[in-house]
Amino acid sequence: MPELRSPPSLGRPLGRLLTKKFFARSVHEVAPGLIGATLLVDGVGGIVTEVEAYHHTEPAAHSFNGPTPRNMVMFGPPGYLYVYRSYGIHWCMNFVCEKEGSASAVLIRALEPTHGIPAMRRRRGLHDERSLCTGPGKLCEAMGVNIKHNTLPLDAPPIAIYARRHKPEIVSGIRIGITKAVGLPWRYGLKGSRFLSKPFPP
């Protein structure tokens, strides 16, 4: 497949687009594999710097107790977006992985903004690039992601995910902001990045 390049107005060249096949694997392969990829929604977004994996067999996953109207998309085929409201305040985006019925997903926790930064600043009401997308709720607000994006395919407009061009150095640690299965080291990040929701332990 020929390399897909962004228009000059969008900045740096982009790699190949990821398809649903990329997500039809273990969530533990997909999660670190997204570090360094570029995620855009309506042309706004950046480089994925931090994610968390959630598997249906552990109680921190929304799918642990079975399907509900909210999490139904998790039980469907891989390669779709699961958007939910956290604490009744923030939207969070997740990528459904593994075979249909597995109900496992990757939470996108942080991005390094590269595309549509003026729109992000306007939506977030702040100027500092480092603070625009350093958290799952922050990045959804910056990118304009909400419940209307729930169940959308990850390989069709308005969503575009471009594969990383080089394998980065990745660090891992325990997940953040949960009270169950807290010891699992399923949080992954781009080593040395300034664009993380929280530093990884040394």
Kindly state the average pLDDT of the residues 144-162. Answer: 97
Give the three-class secondary structure for 2. Answer: coil
Which residues on adjacent β-strands are paired with residue 83?
93
Confidence of residue 1 (pLDDT cuts 50, 70, 90): very low
What is residue 4's DSSP assignment? P
Q: Are 164 and 77 in contact (CB under 8 A)?
A: no
The SS3 assignment for 67 reads coil
Lowest mean pLDDT among 33-37, 45-49, 117-121, 181-185: 181-185
Amino acid at 151: T
Is residue 162 domain-resident? yes
Model pLDDT, residue 136: 96
Q: What is the mean pLDDT of residues 131-156?
A: 97
C-alpha 139/C-alpha 113 separation (Å) is 9
Give me the pLDDT at residue 14, please: 82
- Judged against a pLDDT cut of 90, whether residue 62 lies above it is answered with no
| Domain assignment present for 9 | no
Residue with tokens 């395919």: 153
pLDDT(46) > 50: yes
Mind listing the pLDDT tens digit for each residue in 172-181?
999 898 778 8
Helical H runs in 73-154? Answer: 117-124, 136-143
Calculate the average pLDDT of the chain: 90
Predicted pLDDT of residue 162: 98
Q: Residue 190 half-sphere exposure, CB side, CA atoms within 13 Å?
A: 24
**Can you tell me the distance from the alpha carbon of 15 to that of 2, in angstroms, rounded to the nearest whole number?**
9
Record the pTM: 0.90
Domain assignment of residue 197, yes or no: no
Pick from 50, 55, 27, 13: which is nearest to 163 by CA? 13
| Structural domain contains residue 5 | no
Q: What is the pLDDT of residues 86-118, one digit of tens each?
A: 877 899 999 999 999 899 999 999 999 999 999
pLDDT of residue 179: 72
**CATH number of the domain enclosing 76:** 3.10.300.10
Decide: 161 and 148 in contact? Cβ < 8 Å: no
Domain span holding position 181: 20-190
Read off the pLDDT of each residue in 184-202 and give the average, rounded to a whole number.
Answer: 94
| pLDDT at residue 6 is higher than 60 | no
On whether residue 11 sits in a domain, the answer given is: no
201 is a domain residue = no
**Total number of domains constituting the chain:** 1
Residue 13 covered by a domain: no
